[in-house]
Copies of this chain bind each other. A is one copy, B any other.
Amino acid sequence: MRIRVLGSAAGGGFPQWNCACPNCSAVRAGSSRFSPRTQDSIAVGSDEGSWVLLNASPDVLHQIERAPALQPREGRKTPIRGIVLTNGDLDHCLGLLMLRESTPLVLYATKTVYQGLWEQNVFFRTLERFQGHVRFVPLEIGSRVSVFDGVSIEPFALAGKVPKHLEGRAAASPEDNVGLIVRDDRSRATAVYAGAAAMTIGLEAALNGASALFFDGTFWSSDELIRLGLGTSRAEDMAHLPIGGEGGSLAALGALSGVRKVFTHVNNTNPILDSESPERGAVERAGWEVATDGMELVL
């Protein structure tokens, strides 16, 4: 299977529209130490030309236009067969509403995530233009679902929160945030996508035998937003495990070997975005890569 990183930034992207922090200013100025990044999404495809998107970011139209494999060859025949949602956050779901031009799609999500979208937002009626416009396939934790050509996905529960817009309206559920195990039955390769996540027992089990891991690289430090004067929440308050520090992901996943380890969903404030920062150096010395838009893996 082929894996293409469509977007490698956290919600808001990099640079972020309302931000002139040192990172955002440097990337706007064209510094060679920084690359612009769109919002978190990954495409999984086969040599036969079938693709599914893992999350539909607000940048999805631009992501498709930068990826010839995702563009239609004739008429209105898209190679995109379906979309898998890992949670109901706006930066993972808004793109669905941009894929509304009457192409039938399959949507994979937990019932909790699906209901938070369809039952709470009249916008989604735009994806009900005809019978079968969007076919919903419920994801159940621990159950494998085939998406195309021998490739399957299996969700596992991740620690997380309900989306900001559902706070106070919905009880927390293990179905709110899932990671995905993506398996190719032909190559026998497995990739794990846990783009916005804290560590969980489910993740450790999912990593067993995996060839690649895409992991939450939102923040370097727990108090990153607080120190920059951009917020009052710690990384953990937003259900993100920071990369650095004693309890961070570099330490927690230090023993993991034989796996391609990639940080993605990187926030605009994260010092690992600077290719010459000490933090980027630490990440690379520990055997990790930092995802960039357009990065491709064949597994």
Residue numbers of A with Cβ under 8 A of B are: 12-13, 15-21, 28, 36, 58-62, 64-65, 68, 71-78, 80, 90, 94, 97-103, 116, 120-126, 129, 163-167, 169, 229-231
CA of A101 to CA of B18, assembled, Å: 7
* Chain B residues within 8 Å of A169, by CB: 122
The reply to whether A20 and B74 form a contact with Cβ atoms under 8 Å apart is yes
In the complex, the chain B residue whose C-beta lies closest to that of A167 is B125
Question: Which of B28, B73, B97, B121 sits near A20, CB closer than 8 Å?
Answer: B73
Q: How far is the CB of A12 from chain B (nearest CB, A)?
A: 5
Given that A71-B28, A97-B90, A121-B120 are contacting pairs, would A78 and B17 also be in contact in the complex, using a CB cutoff of 8 Å?
Answer: yes
* Chain B residues within 8 Å of A71, by CB: 15, 17, 20, 28
A-B contact pairs, 9 of them (CB 8 A): A15-B71, A17-B60, A17-B64, A17-B65, A18-B99, A20-B72, A28-B68, A90-B97, A126-B163
Main secondary structure of the interface of A (DSSP, over half): loop
Of the listed residues A64, A98, A126, A163, the one surrounded by the most CB atoms of chain B closer than 10 A to its CB is A98
Question: Which of B19, B62, B98, B164 sits near A76, CB closer than 8 Å?
Answer: B19
CA of A13 to CA of B63, assembled, Å: 13
CA of A123 to CA of B122, assembled, Å: 10
In the complex, the chain B residue whose C-beta lies closest to that of A103 is B18
Q: How far is the CB of A118 from chain B (nearest CB, A)?
A: 11
Of the listed residues A78, A97, A102, A103, the one surrounded by the most CB atoms of chain B closer than 10 A to its CB is A97
Q: How far is the CB of A230 from chain B (nearest CB, A)?
A: 7
In the complex, the chain B residue whose C-beta lies closest to that of A28 is B71
The reply to whether A123 and B121 form a contact with Cβ atoms under 8 Å apart is yes
The reply to whether A78 and B164 form a contact with Cβ atoms under 8 Å apart is no
Question: Which of B15, B21, B36, B100 sits near A90, CB closer than 8 Å?
Answer: B100
In the complex, the chain B residue whose C-beta lies closest to that of A60 is B17
* Chain B residues within 8 Å of A17, by CB: 60-61, 64-65, 71, 78, 98-99, 101
Of the listed residues A19, A36, A68, A120, the one surrounded by the most CB atoms of chain B closer than 10 A to its CB is A19
Given that A13-B61, A59-B61, A164-B129 are contacting pairs, would A18 and B72 also be in contact in the complex, using a CB cutoff of 8 Å?
Answer: yes
Question: Which of B12, B59, B120, B123 sits near A101, CB closer than 8 Å?
Answer: B12
The reply to whether A65 and B15 form a contact with Cβ atoms under 8 Å apart is yes
Since A20-B72, A94-B98 are in contact, a sample of 10 more A-B pairs with Cβ atoms closer than 8 Å, ordered by chain A residue number, is A15-B65, A17-B78, A28-B65, A58-B61, A94-B94, A120-B122, A121-B121, A121-B123, A122-B165, A125-B167
